Amino acid sequence: MTIQWFPGHMAKARREVSEKIKLVDIVYELVDARLPLSSRNPILDDIIGQKPRIIILNKSDLADEAQTKAWITYFANEGISAIPIVAQEGKGMNKILSTSKALLKEKFDRFKAKGVNPRAIRAMSIGIPNVGKSTLINRMVKKNIAKTGNKPGVTKGQQWLKFGKEIELLDTPGILWPKFEDPMIGKKLALTGAIKDTLLNMDDIALYGLAFFKENYAQQLEKRYALTKEEAQLEPPELLMRISEKRGFRDDYDRASEMVIYEIRSGKLGRFTLDMVPVSLTE
């Protein structure tokens, strides 16, 4: 199954981000902590260039904690600051301002030395759809300004917002890239909700999710669906059938698929990370 999604407003947003990047001091790149690489848009690297950035690992409460720590180390080795947050609850938000100040200290010290009056940090938030950008912004400005929702593509335009007196934030719509070179990235994004469900074959995504949990988090799969160790090792189609039977769905596999995807996304199967840091990169 090939998954592609690049609505017209995303192409427009890409152009606008390219035009506005020169106006900001720093970029907040929001990613899903469950897929720290797959939820990064590769075209943004060219747009951001050498501009200081912070990778904000949102939904870290849903991600494998050990993997999140490993990814923070990985990004640090790449020279990029990464912060785990839970925007929905406001956890970790205070680190955004302190890290921004640290990264921009030399720039603002130069301004001060030249007699330039102090001003707010100008930041831009970017990221793919449904990683929680609008929720983050609403938490930062403490008002329900940006539209939020559990569906991708809610934010359609750019807007400047004030975070107290210290940050002026330029919000941007979520931007996916025109083509996923690796089809597995499309599946990962689909499983976590970054692509509209109406564009997906839900049973294929459910089978991918079950295969991943079977391989990496079998105990969580067993616990959620009251499976024996032997049942949890069934091939994904048979596993979906068994779960469907246990939930009383009989042969309604479409309903079972939607249920499995919902429960994976909402954390009912426990914390997980789809992008795992290779052991060689953490040593």
Residue stretches of the annotated binding site for GTP = 58-61, 130-135, 174
Q: Which one, of 117, 198, 188, 85, lies nearest residue 152 by Cα?
A: 198
Q: Which one, of 50, 48, 29, 49, lies nearest residue 40 by Cα?
A: 29
Helices (H), the chain: 8-20, 43-48, 65-77, 94-113, 133-141, 183-192, 202-216, 218-225, 229-232, 236-246, 253-265, 279-282
278 touches 222 (CB < 8 A): no
Backbone angles phi, psi at 243, to 5 degrees: -65, -40
Query: What distances in angstroms separate CA 93 from CA 10, 123, 127, 170, one per listed residue?
Result: 27, 15, 17, 17
Q: Which two tokens stand for residue 26?
A: 């720093």
Measured CA to CA, the distance from residue 147 to residue 204 in angstroms comes to: 30
Q: Which two tokens stand for residue 25?
A: 């001091």
Measured CA to CA, the distance from residue 120 to residue 18 in angstroms comes to: 22
Measured CA to CA, the distance from residue 216 to residue 193 in angstroms comes to: 20
Q: From the annotation, which residues make up the binding site?
A: 58-61, 130-135, 174
Helix (H, G, I), strand (E, B) or coil at 215: helix
